[in-house]
């Protein structure tokens, strides 16, 4: 099977390639606008905005995994979300059609549901609160229209919750780093629960969908359970690292005011700052999602949520020689 990953040079893509390399019957190609530090030998440089390049490099492909996306909280200009996430989807579909490829796995996001929803399943109405979520939903709408016109295609959409793991430098890493430093302070009461997903399980689920050959058009939320409250998450990290943090809770309104102040400061300095109003809102929001469809699909994650946290914490903040030498190590352990 020939699998082409579009956008495989980043965090999730690198782990996905490492997982795929366990299978001797797979031929892999990575198309990305950035060179892969780990897998340059299978990487070609191209942009999803360049349909001619996609047409050329997708030749001979059996399955496309579309990971490429603009996803950071502070992308500027905001039109980049729609250029990459929506137009990039259209270009990918047209290039697939030109090459006779009918199998696609697309990583969307639970951001399409918006904030503070009541454990939404895949059938919950879309209500994104930011440009990233809106662009991801528009990309899904393109896929819906495409499948209506191409019912013989096999399209699988994964909507993962926030993904964490070794070498990730996103919001979860920033949170874990603050807790590990002992300088963390809680905004809000900390009772809000967060769905999370460990990268080792996410890439295994992508592989599962490809090898199981799900037919038709399918959408799956992906979450590793059980969901933790912010208080529980902080307590677990503090306990695992034997750290101490201030047991002070700042009210939400004060945290949001600080977030808007940093927004203004960032504009004045023309810099992207770690603290922002969007991140404060996301931190204090309830972000729980129903992933029972994926859980009943037959997929068995190799790691528990706490197991994934332990691996991440040990690698990033208390590394041993073995763990630091092989961050892409995939084992079958639920510890």
CA distance 244 to 232: 14
Render pLDDT for 203-226 as a digit per residue (tens, 0 to 9): 999 999 999 877 899 999 999 999
Domain count, the chain: 1
pLDDT tens-digit series, residues 174-208: 888 888 887 788 999 999 999 999 999 999 999 99
For 155-178, write each residue's pLDDT tens digit: 999 999 999 999 998 888 988 888
Average pLDDT of span 17-31: 96
Q: Average model confidence (pLDDT) for the chain?
A: 90
* Token pair recorded at residue 104: 């696609």
Assess if residue 135 is contained within a domain: yes
In Å, what is the CA distance from 155 to each residue of 63, 111, 146, 184, 308?
Answer: 10, 20, 10, 42, 28
Q: Is the pLDDT of residue 323 over 50?
A: no
User: Looking at residue 142, what is its pLDDT?
Assistant: 98
pLDDT in tens, 34-85: 999 999 999 999 999 999 999 999 999 999 999 999 887 677 788 889 999 9
Q: What angle do CA 270, 276, 279 make, to 5 degrees?
A: 140
Q: Which CATH number does the domain housing residue 45 bear?
A: 3.40.50.720
* Triad 150, 155, 158: Cα angle to 5°: 150
Q: Domain for residue 306, yes or no?
A: no
How far apart are alpha carbons 223 and 213 in whole angstroms? 21
Residue 261 lies in a domain: no
CB 54 within 8 A of CB 91: yes
Evaluate if residue 152 carries a pLDDT over 60: yes
Give tens-digit pLDDT for 125-134.
999 989 999 9
Please enumerate in sequence order all residues whose Cβ is within 8 A of that of 125, keeping only pairs 6 or more positions apart, or say none.
none
DSSP-derived secondary structure for 104-139: EEEE--GGGG-SS-SS--TTSPP---SHHHHHHHHH
Could you count the other beta carbons within 10 Å of the beta carbon of residue 299?
16
Which pLDDT value is given to residue 30?
98
Q: Is residue 124 part of a domain?
A: yes
- Rounded Cα gap, residues 332 and 311, in angstroms: 13
Spatial CB neighbours of 292, under 8 Å, sequence gap ≥ 6: 121
Residue 330 has pLDDT above 50, yes or no: no
Domain extent for 295: 2-166+195-224+289-300
Q: Is the pLDDT of residue 33 over 80?
A: yes
59 part of a folded domain? yes
- Are 61 and 4 in contact by the 8 Å Cβ rule? The answer is yes
Going from the C-alpha of 70 to that of each of 5, 56, 92, 311, 312, the distances in angstroms are: 16, 23, 15, 27, 24
Q: Say if 275 falls within a structural domain.
A: no
The dihedrals phi and psi of 214, each to the nearest 5 degrees, come to: -60, 130
Residue 135 has pLDDT above 60, yes or no: yes
Answer whether residue 154 is part of any domain: yes
Q: How many CA atoms lie within 13 A of 307 on its CB side?
A: 15
Contacts of 148 (CB under 8 A, 6+ apart): none
Distance CA 38, CA 20 (A): 14
Residues marked active site are found at 132
pTM above 0.85, yes or no: yes
Distance CA 249, CA 255 (A): 10
In a domain, 171, yes or no: no
Asked if pLDDT for residue 329 goes beyond 70, the answer is no
pLDDT number for residue 75: 74
The pLDDT value given to residue 95: 98
Structure tokens given for 258 = 């600080």
Task: Please give the DSSP secondary-structure letter assigned to residue 296.
Answer: T
Q: Are 221 and 289 in contact (CB under 8 A)?
A: yes
């Amino acid at each position: 099977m020939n699998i082409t990953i579009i956008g495989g040079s980043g965090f999730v893509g690198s782990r996905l390639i490492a997982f795929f390399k366990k299978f001797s019957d797979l031929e892999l190609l990575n198309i990305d606008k950035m060179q892969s530090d780990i897998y340059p030998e299978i990487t070609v440089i191209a942009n999803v905005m360049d349909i001619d390049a996609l047409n050329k490099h997708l030749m001979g492909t059996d399955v496309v995994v579309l990971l490429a996306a603009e996803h950071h909280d502070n992308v500027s200009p905001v039109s980049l979300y729609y250029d990459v996430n929506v137009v990039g989807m259209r270009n990918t579909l047209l290039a697939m059609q030109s090459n006779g490829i009918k199998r696609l796995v697309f990583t969307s996001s639970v951001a399409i549901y918006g904030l503070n929803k009541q454990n939404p399943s895949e059938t919950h109405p879309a209500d994104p609160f930011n440009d990233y979520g809106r662009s991801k939903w528009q990309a899904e709408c393109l896929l819906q229209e495409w499948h209506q016109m191409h019912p013989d295609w096999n399209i699988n959409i994964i909507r993962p919750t926030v993904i964490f793991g070794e070498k990730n430098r996103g919001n979860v890493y920033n949170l874990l780093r603050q807790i590990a430093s002992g300088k963390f302070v809680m905004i809000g009461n900390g009772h809000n629960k967060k769905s999370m997903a460990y990268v080792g399980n996410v890439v295994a689920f992508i592989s599962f969908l490809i090898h199981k050959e799900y037919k038709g058009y399918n959408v799956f939320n992906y979450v590793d359970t059980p969901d933790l409250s912010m208080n529980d998450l902080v307590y677990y990290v503090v306990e695992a690292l034997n750290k101490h943090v201030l047991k002070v809770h700042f009210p939400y309104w004060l945290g949001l005011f600080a977030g808007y102040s940093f927004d203004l400061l960032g504009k004045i300095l023309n810099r992207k700052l770690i603290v922002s109003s969007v991140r404060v809102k996301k931190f204090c929001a309830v972000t729980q999602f129903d992933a029972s469809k994926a859980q009943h699909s037959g997929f068995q994650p190799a790691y528990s949520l706490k197991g994934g946290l332990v691996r991440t914490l040990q690698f990033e903040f208390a590394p041993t020689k073995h763990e630091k030498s092989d961050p892409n190590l995939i084992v079958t352990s639920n510890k």
